[in-house]
Structure formats: C-alpha cells, structure tokens
Amino acid sequence: MERQEIIAGLVEILSTVRTINHEKLANINEDTDLIKDLNTPSTEMINIVAKAEQKFDVEFDDDDIDELDAKVKSVVDLILKAKERN
C-alpha cells in the first residue's frame, strides 16, 4: 500500500473526530503532528489508532502503540509495519 494512500485514509478518519478543526486537514503531510498542529486532544489519539486498525484491517502491538508519537509519519510507519507482519 502506498504511503499517500494511507495518509488519505487517515484524513478520512480524522474528519470523523469532531474536536479537530477540519479546515486544517487539507494541508496535512508526513511531518504534521496530530496534537501540536491539528489540536487533536491527546485523549482522542487512541480512538484514531483504533479506527486505523479497522480501516486498514490490521492489528497493532500494544508496545508499538505505547511508543507512538503524534506525527503522521509515525502512524503511517505503524500501519505498514502491521501490514507486513500479517
């Protein structure tokens, strides 16, 4: 799966999070920090991770989630890693 495809899927997930300013989603890239740049509340991160599991049909390791930072690049890496494991 292409990284850009994954980012597009992430944008779809983020648009369901009502506490994010959806206008900011237009300019998202690999360096975007979900918390710092999009004002995602840290308590919403786990919901985004769970929705990513559903959307990309993967299952993440608990340890990988614990170490995850809020950068888009990190989330894309995590999804690709999980897909490879399958």
Which of residues 4 and 16 has its CB atom nearest to another protein in the complex? 16
Nearer Cβ to another protein (19/29): 19
- For another protein, the closer of residues 28 and 68 by Cβ is 68
Residues lying near another protein in the complex (CB under 8 A) are found at: 16, 18-19, 41, 43-44, 46-47, 49-51, 53-54, 59, 65
Task: In angstroms, give the least distance from the CB of 8 to another protein.
Answer: 17
Own/partner long-range contacts of 51-59 (Cβ < 8 Å, ≥24 apart): 51/13, 51/16, 52/9, 52/10, 52/13, 52/78, 52/79, 53/82, 55/9, 55/12, 55/13, 56/1, 56/6, 56/9, 56/82, 56/83, 58/82, 58/83, 58/86
